[in-house]
Homo-oligomer: A and B are copies of this chain.
């Protein structure tokens, strides 16, 4: 499927009037810096200008391209596929008006035409795809920062919202695919593909229901054997399942069966949208972590909140070795607490944080660290950020700098060094929980 996510050439079909779907997709592809050939196609011809580049609109496609993105009225899509089938490897059909509105016949026809030419299909009724490391943004959704998360979404709108929110939350993406009606390729195919994609460090999957449970379980197992798969299942409650049935036509089936399948396959099931981002950020940074956590903080309260959450999630507050305690005592002011959670108190500076992280990291009773920083009063938050960056530690370090504008500079500095911030002590604790599930 590289021709979808790392294409060397693409054609876009639809209207190129300002604001039309095809125009927006073309704009995204150009602004996203796609380096391959881009061919806009519309029978009316003409030209279109996006992001300062002017394109001839071809009346028909006459040269081979890897992938076609199609946003033309549903009823003409099958004939278009027939026409361009010999020239393309894959087609992403954005157009709606197929099985999701009862038009099963038209969808069947679309699939038959594609099969005839050996063309693979994504969609119809989808929001498109991103291959972020191929600089290919083949969707009207907001572009995202490059990173390790491949997002597979049965719901286009959920996917779009998750991309935008992920951007704000500091998630980096390797790919995005909204697969709509899944007429040909479905969640199982994408799971298998991203399992082997070298740019993808974790996969997030939003599903309401799957059609082929056995195939799905196999694909999920394969993927989880290679990298973490975060699953958000919608349609868990009775009313939710009914709503899903009318939304994606998913016969959601009993949630218990899905839950057992996720567990059996070793997937990371999250409960809420926000948790997708937290888990994704954790797995972009680390493969896994043990259960024994050391908490380091410059403020008691947030340290206590983190401790509560860690224990509640079944993690352990690491028992520091006598040697660690002695070494900490040797340089920390007497008001500091050298029991875990380690409280460096309000005036903790670069040295205090860095040394404490390094000593604690060296303790064989410690599997991972949770480092908290509330806005220091006398020094800029960047200084603490630098301590976290500079500290030598080969174990997972999850960071919670809070809050708001007061630590923005520190957080930016962390992110430049590939360290993602978690906004509350509890969300940081939950990140460690997911790491412990691998």
Q: Does the CB pair A157–B346 fall under 8 Å? A: yes
Which chain A residues (227-254) contact chain B, with CB distance < 8 Å? 232, 234-240, 242-244, 246-248
- CB-contact partner of A303 in B243, B273, B339, B425, under 8 A: B243
Interface of A with B (CB < 8 Å)? 19, 21, 24, 101, 140, 142, 153-155, 157-158, 160-165, 167-168, 206, 208, 232, 234-240, 242-244, 246-248, 271-274, 298-305, 307-312, 317, 335, 337, 339-341, 343, 346, 374-375, 377-378, 402-406, 423-427
Q: Are B402 and A161 in contact (CB-based, < 8 A)? A: yes
Q: Quick check: B157 and A304 within 8 Å, CB to CB?
A: no
Which of B160, B247, B340 contacts A300 (CB under 8 A)?
B247
Closest to A19 in B: B378
CB <8 Å contact, B308 and A240: yes
- A157-B346, A160-B375, A404-B164 are known contacts. Are A339 and B242 too (CB-CB below 8 A)? yes
A409 to chain B, nearest CB (A): 13
| Interface contact A164-B406, CB-CB below 8 Å | yes
A57 to chain B, nearest CB (A): 21
Q: Which of A236, A243, A312 has the most CB of B within 10 A?
A: A243
A164-B298 Cα distance, complex, nearest whole Å: 17
Contact of A239 among B160, B239, B272, B311 (CB under 8 A): B311
- Residue in B21, B162, B236 whose beta carbon sits within 8 Å of that of A308 in the complex: B236
The answer to whether A425 touches B243 (Cβ under 8 A) is no
| New A-B pairs, 5, CB < 8 Å, besides A161-B375, A273-B424 | A21-B377, A157-B299, A158-B299, A158-B305, A273-B302
